[in-house]
A and B are shown apart, each in its own frame.
Chain A
Amino acid sequence: MRFQGTDSYVATDDLMVAVNAAITLQRPLLVKGEPGTGKTMLAFEIARALGKPLLQWHIKSTTKAQQGLYEYDAVSRLRDSQLGDERVKDIRNYIARGKLWEAFGADGSVVLLIDEVDKADIEFPNDLLLELDRMEFHVYETQETVKAKHRPIVIITSNNEKELPDAFLRRCFFHYIRFPDRDTMQRIVAVHHPDIQKTLVREALNVFYELREVPGLKKKPSTSELLDWIKLLMAEDIPPEALRAKDQKVVIPPLAGALLKNEQDVHLFERLAFLAKRERGN
């Protein structure tokens, strides 16, 4: 059971080692990296490559750790009791399973994605320590212990908005997805758009990396934006020459809206481009 990347996902060596170590030792893998470098995609691709079902647990600022285990719906039980419903006698009717329980209870091993763990409250990871470590938890209402039949492969992503507690980190493998270099980027583009002309890719990458160098951008364009942009370029059938025409009158690359997502960034870029043009004019 080895992860080698897939036909639609380029995995670097270090990423493969980290993923395989996490799979073999059955520890969670914590993935960090710039937004848009494929953290969430990684879980999808691992599930696809290993032919396992994927369970997704997307974390929001209001998510509590308990929700991943189970929720006891006391309110509807109370209502039912007042209405004299028969269901009320069995407490199990009011326990809703969370994603972790689903993963633990599955018949084969599954891939569990805990997405953007840093969005939740600061105590959230601490509340999951034992559950992720031993892959079991206790249900107080029914006095039963849920234990994983097969330890799931747990992928946790973080956008670095909060520091994660040390105790939590100690239990994980860690991988930081670096922004891909030119060669890797070319491979990524080739995987996604195999029929794209070579020159177009080269010119597009030139423009792309130049754009990333512009100082002060609020959100630097990342891999996913590049792929979208190239898709657009292909759909519009824009010739490579149009991209190369940087030193001519054209200052903004065509369809730049796919790369710059922020009004201030577009404005900043336009101003810089204008200045550059004026300098050349002199």
Chain B
Amino acid sequence: MFVNFFLELKKAKVPVTLREYLTLLEAMKQGMAEYEVEKFYYLSRAALVKDEKNFDKFDRVFGQVFKGLEGSGEAVVEIPEEWLRKLAEKTLSEEEKALIQSLGGWEKLMETLKKRLEEQKGRHQGGNKWIGTAGTSPFGAYGYNPEGVRIGQDKSRNRRAVKVWDKREYKNLDDDVVLGTRNIKVALRRLRQLIRQGEADELDLPETIRSTADNAGWIDIVMRPQRRNKVKVLLFLDIGGSMDDHVRACEELFSAARGELKHLEHFYFHNCLYEKVWKDNRRRYTETTPTWQVLHTYGHDYRVVFVGDATMSPYEIVYPGGSVEHWNEEAGQVWLQRVTQIYQKAIWLNPVPEQHWQYTPSVQIVRQIMGERMYPLTLEGLTGAMRELAR
């Protein structure tokens, strides 16, 4: 009964186990679902899914299994229309805007796109009408139409594009990658700075013995507070674009950091630090935090760790307005310098292998700003970085 459902859930990487499946069956036997689809849905969700971050996956599988709906095999992504429009207004020249008008403006463009998505059945490449890859239709990836809307192209084609004219599907850094985090954890452990604080709830044996002796043999218990990890860390993670290749490495770091440190705050940025950062990558356009606020909120005793490949066009660091996605009033280097001034202990971790650094000018610039404190994201690099931070 429902074996298929169970297996599909497993396949969709929802962490379900046999035990939970049996619990569900037991509940079914007791008549908990009352033979209603909705109740069954709630019941199976309560029994099988133990974290709200998996609800979405579960919903999709449930829909597939019980309604016979097809999952979208080819990755067709929904495009946040507003964002495209906003970006276009900011970055397009007047001629380009006129070109868009030629197809009937944005609403029309999006509408046509939707219609064609419905018409189209399979994968498509070339040609000039269907959505696919490498064509001249405005819809699809790797194309040359200035109106192009990018669909399902999951890697940046050209790393050093000055203006990336592509919709990027950013990934929210999941911290559930456990594999391989062990090594990182061990390295991070170096950061632990143990200080006794809080309630005196631990027996201080040597002190008790001495005190009892002083007391002529009458027991005199001496307690002391436990040792706790006092290190506070601010983590800035680069996301999207050229970092796509390194997302896995970053996920592992993030996951390890979560388990190892008590005071950990993370923020995302894109390519270089500017006046805004964000906490949840899915809502990065609506819920941003001004970088000033971050600098004011977290005291100078925080250690700062940047994680990014620092691979970009040098303009993005050196000039105001160099950012690929928005107009930044102040250059990225100004922001980086601010951070290094406020926080004495700041380092940059770079997932790109160290021997490639010298070929990318932007890496050199960032490294210089960070006062040479850039480390590769290897066990050795991490150890070095943590030693620097723990000093």
Contact = CB atoms under 8 A, between A and B. Distances in A.
Interface of A: 13-14, 17-18, 20-22, 24-25, 27, 29-30, 32, 61-62, 75, 78-79, 82, 122, 163-164, 166, 169-176, 215-216, 264
Name the residue in B26, B33, B42, B218 with the highest tally of chain A Cβ atoms < 10 Å from its Cβ: B42
Given A25-B23, A215-B288, A174 B46 contact: yes
B50 interface: yes
Question: Shortest 3 CB-CB distances between A and B: which pairs?
Answer: A169-B50, A17-B42, A18-B46
B39 A17 contact: yes
Interface in B276-324: 286-290, 293, 297
A25 B30 contact: yes
B46 A21 contact: yes
Contact of B221 (A75, A169, A172, A264): A75
B20 A170 contact: yes
Contacts of A75: 219, 221
Size class of the B contact interface (CB-based, 8 Å): 35 or more
Interface string B194-222: 00001101000000000000000011010
B19 A170 contact: yes
B27 A24 contact: yes
B38 A13 contact: yes
A17 B259 CA distance: 33
A25 B19 CA distance: 13
A220 to B, nearest CB: 11
Interface in B349-381: none
Nearest to B41: A14
11 contacts: A17-B33, A21-B43, A25-B23, A25-B26, A29-B46, A61-B198, A62-B201, A170-B50, A172-B50, A174-B50, A216-B293
Contacts of B15: 166
B342 interface: no
Given A173-B46, A216-B287, A216-B288, A21 B27 contact: yes
Nearest to A178: B52
Contacts of A170: 17, 19-20, 50
A215 B201 CA distance: 42
Nearest to B286: A215
A173 B286 CA distance: 33
A163 B259 CA distance: 9
A62 B26 contact: no
Interface in B43-84: 43, 45-47, 49-52, 55
B7 to A, nearest CB: 18
A187 B340 CA distance: 51
